Structure 1
Amino acid sequence: MGHIIDISHHQDPTKMNYDKLSAQLDLVIVRTQYGSRVIDKHYKTHHREFQKRGIPTAAYAWVRGISLNDMKVEAIDFYQRTKEFNPTFWFLDVEEESMKDMRAGVSAYVRALRNCGAKKVGIYVGHHLYKKFNLNLNEVDAIWIPHYGKNNGQVTSQPSFPCDIHQYTDKGRLEGYSGYLDLNRLMGTKPLEFFTGKEVVKVDKKDEIKKDKPSDWAKEAWEWAKKEGFLDGTRPKEPVTREELAVVLQRLVKKLG
């Protein structure tokens, strides 16, 4: 399994080798904004460069709303600024007490984000703020918590609260970027595909074995086609492309000629 990192404009694209870094990653979570007024300088570049290399990207926004209405505005700004990249997940980064009732404020943000069209919404909440804020985590699809322990780039701790993603260090090192990176790992029962949007198709081994053998009614013709060199003897039950048909016809004409 590859790494999950989260980045912002503190990770300068000019200092990043996207090819080398992407080869080690499963998912990148990119910051869009710090409140509504501060837009991340490099979020568009990060999304484009990682997606170009086949790496799924999610998005996050630092929450700074000072009222219910302000929270709604931030959510709309977050969505409008990020929707073109179709992120696999939308995370609210809750790390400061920007209003008295953070539970109500964050809930308003979540509702507004979903009303905009966001399908999967998650919350990143500071470990030390988990109990104090008492956020309604039942209304989101994933919980992301930082807990560093020794903070030496390795997993040296475990959050005291249930979560789906554990940010275990901000001192991570990966080839392709000379600075520190935030590294994360999956916790709980949700698979990687839940966050990347990629579906895993499980194939029954019995079905695979059946595909390697021709049906009884076609065995004689299959063996003849192999013997005469028209077919290579593989994939008896797979469909034939026009390219493959052209090769077979060419072989047939040469044999008849």
Structure 2
Amino acid sequence: MNKNLIADISHHQLSHNIDWAAAAKEVALMIIRVQYGSNTIDREYKKHVANCKKYKIPFGHYAYAQFVSVNDARDEAKHFLERIDKDAKFLVLDVEECTTRKDQIVSATQEFIDVCKKAGWKIGLYTGHHFYKPYGMDRVAADFLWLPRYGKNEGKRDIKPAYECDLWQYTDRGRVSWYCGNIDLNHINSSKTIQWFIGKAQKVSELQQEKEQISSKDSPSEYEIIKVKPGDTLSEIAARFHTTVSTLQKLNGIANPDKIYAGQKIRVR
């Protein structure tokens, strides 16, 4: 049986009601909620994590946003970082409602994401399909974008998101062999692979060490070179180093931005 399911769960799915041995045969990735704002810790997340580890199911973590300001977003991110499991493959911020002033929602969202990135984590943004453009979520810089769009919502993939995204949550009424109720199911919707999501999370210190190891001693000090990892895309590298795909193409003579390979050395500035 192919392991191709991507599910996201919270305390609405009690851990003891999941047949974890059966899930391990089908699930490629589990995304586990950790908190609902700063003050509500998901009651099941530690049990979900323990079972994912026991049955060797890769997992990420997400936090549902309830911050009311930029400063509050910073604090909420810090609480999230204190609670997450160190073996999570990535983090996600879930922004589905405007809990700040409308003119602050983008900056507050970006602050939360930046706090996590500065701590060395790969982090994505989940936001409502109806929320994405009206609230400026398209202006938020994250490592990946996760959008829901259900269509008929009969448990199968139906109408794709109208916007480019990396993960598509296609139903909240999914049915699986290892859980008796409805469950959220997702599908990769970009050139990223499952390995991109579940590969070893590279910490900031490791990234800096790698850059020092492969940078040419004869290169000018303002040059910075990195080595492409499996699953990397040029757009992801551009976002990581706060530049653009076209700039990286010019610096490296890359004609086709979709054709880079693991081990390739790329100048990023």
Query: TM-score if structure 1 supplies the norm length?
Result: 0.74
Give the drift of 1:136.
5.3
Structure 1 residues 203-222: aligned runs within 5 Å: none
The 8 Å contact of residues 144 and 165 in structure 1, kept in 2 or not, is answered as yes
Give the drift of 1:43.
0.4
Higher helix share: 1
Give yes or no for the alignment of 1:110 onto 2:113: yes
Give unmatched runs, 5+ long, in structure 1.
Answer: 202-257
Distance 1:109 1:175, change over 3 A: same
Q: Deviations over 1:61-103 (max 9, x none)?
A: 0011001110001100111100x34211110001010101211
Aligned partners of 1:149, 1:65: CA distance in 2, in Å? 30
The 8 Å contact of residues 20 and 178 in structure 2, kept in 1 or not, is answered as yes
Give the drift of 1:174.
0.7
The 8 Å contact of residues 62 and 92 in structure 2, kept in 1 or not, is answered as yes
Tell me the residue number matched to 2:211: none
Tell me the residue number matched to 2:34: 32
Aligned partners of 1:65, 1:2: CA distance in 2, in Å? 34
Tell me the residue number matched to 2:197: 195
The 8 Å contact of residues 120 and 141 in structure 1, kept in 2 or not, is answered as yes
Aligned partners of 2:74, 2:114: CA distance in 1, in Å? 8
Amino acid at match of 2:105: M
The 8 Å contact of residues 79 and 118 in structure 1, kept in 2 or not, is answered as no
- Correspondent of 1:152 among 132, 154, 164: 154
Tell me the residue number matched to 1:99: 100
Q: Which has the larger Rg?
A: 1
Give the drift of 1:34.
0.3
Amino acid at match of 1:168: Y
Q: How large is the Cα RMSD of the aligned pairs? A: 1.7
Aligned partners of 2:140, 2:192: CA distance in 1, in Å? 15
Give the drift of 1:56.
0.6
The 8 Å contact of residues 109 and 140 in structure 2, kept in 1 or not, is answered as no
Give yes or no for the alignment of 1:66 onto 2:68: yes
Aligned partners of 1:78, 1:29: CA distance in 2, in Å? 15
Amino acid at match of 1:184: N
Count of aligned pairs: 199
Aligned partners of 1:60, 1:81: CA distance in 2, in Å? 11
Query: TM-score if structure 2 supplies the norm length?
Result: 0.71
Give the drift of 1:137.
5.1
Give the drift of 1:134.
1.0
